[in-house]
Amino acid sequence: MDWEYINLNEDFLSGADGPTDVDASFHIVISDEEILSIDGAHPWRPLTGDEYRWLDIDEISAHYLGTAAGIPVFVNEVDPEAEEPEGYEFETLWSFLGRTDEALFSLLGRAKQVVDWYQNHQFCGQCGKPTGDAEADRSRKCDDCGNMFYPRLSPSIIVLITRGEEVLLAKNANARGDFYSTIAGFVEPGESIEEAVHREVREEVGVGVKNLQYFNSQSWPFPNSLMLGFHAEYTGGEIVLQEEEIIDARWFHYTEMPNRPVMVSISGWLIDHYIRQMESPED
């Protein structure tokens, strides 16, 4: 089946233990954290098995991701010193943000995170000995001391703060692009998700919130976050910036919003959901 006819939302089934001998396959090729694209292919698509074999680039590792419409999907890490193949180009994952749909961006993010995990766990963090692939799942095992290393996820919160018909949005000092977004941060050890929301809001913009309502979650591959989204209501306090993180924060009426995140991100979903609620309160 051609990639263009596959609906990833319905047809992708994730997996870790893939087949070794296949007639057809799809390949996401990564080199030095960049993803290989076919020149002139719009929208983006992975390589077929034949296309990947014809690349003739030294492979560092290969990882099974699952099936798309029954066809195995692999991510292949190739030699970062290899020249860019003619007719192809390598692009950062950031460059796909906003130009692909959510399902494809999620698959590309999954591919990059699996490769990152494999690169970072070649040796045991306890005894320093080499690790090997486990047989039953996606993990690395130290044959010397038995330690297991699974792909790491970092739980994070992201919250949209509302005050009647206004939202509090902030411009992050490290953000790529000129836009205002929701408040976000990593969960600390020993902290509940709800406690993390209150702490991050207080630290970054100095205000208090109440009535936390869980909204949705999203895997976010920069670098390996699991974003847990909330709506929350403002309770009081003046905006005080955590200047090393936030360069500006202010209240915006929902009809006069600034440049905001793309809709492939959970921050975009949170803002869009709030605006739709304000425009159609009966829904």
pLDDT tens digits for range 11-53: 999 998 888 888 899 999 999 999 999 998 888 999 999 999 9
Report, at the CATH architecture level, how domain 3-109 is classified: Alpha-Beta Complex (3.90)
pLDDT tens digits for range 127-152: 999 999 887 789 999 989 989 999 98
Domain ranges, ordered by start, for the chain: 3-109, 121-152, 154-279
| CB contact set of 46 (below 8 Å; sequence gap of 6+) | 3, 26, 27, 28, 29, 73
Question: What's the mean pLDDT in 73-84?
Answer: 91
Residues 109, 221: contact at Cβ < 8 Å? Answer: yes
Question: What's the mean pLDDT in 51-58?
Answer: 91
pLDDT beyond 80 at 70: yes
Q: Which CATH superfamily is domain 154-279 in?
A: Nucleoside Triphosphate Pyrophosphohydrolase (3.90.79.10)
- What does DSSP assign to residue 139? -
Output the average pLDDT for the chain. 93
Q: Which of 185, 274, 266, 150 is nearest to 219 (CA)?
A: 266
pLDDT tens digits for range 79-93: 988 888 899 999 999
pLDDT beyond 70 at 283: no
Secondary structure class of 199 (helix, strand, coil)? helix
Q: Provide the pLDDT for residue 20.
A: 81
Q: Provide the pLDDT for residue 98.
A: 83
| CB contact set of 275 (below 8 Å; sequence gap of 6+) | 254, 257
Q: Provide the pLDDT for residue 280.
A: 87
Q: Which of 170, 188, 190 is nearest to 180 (CA)?
A: 170
User: What is the Cα–Cα distance from 208 to 139, expressed in whole angstroms?
Assistant: 41
Task: Name residue 62's amino acid.
Answer: A
Q: Provide the pLDDT for residue 17.
A: 85
pLDDT tens digits for range 190-226: 999 999 999 999 999 999 999 999 999 999 998 899 9
Percentage of the chain beyond pLDDT 70 is 99
Q: 154-279: same fold as 3-109?
A: yes
Q: Provide the pLDDT for residue 136.
A: 75
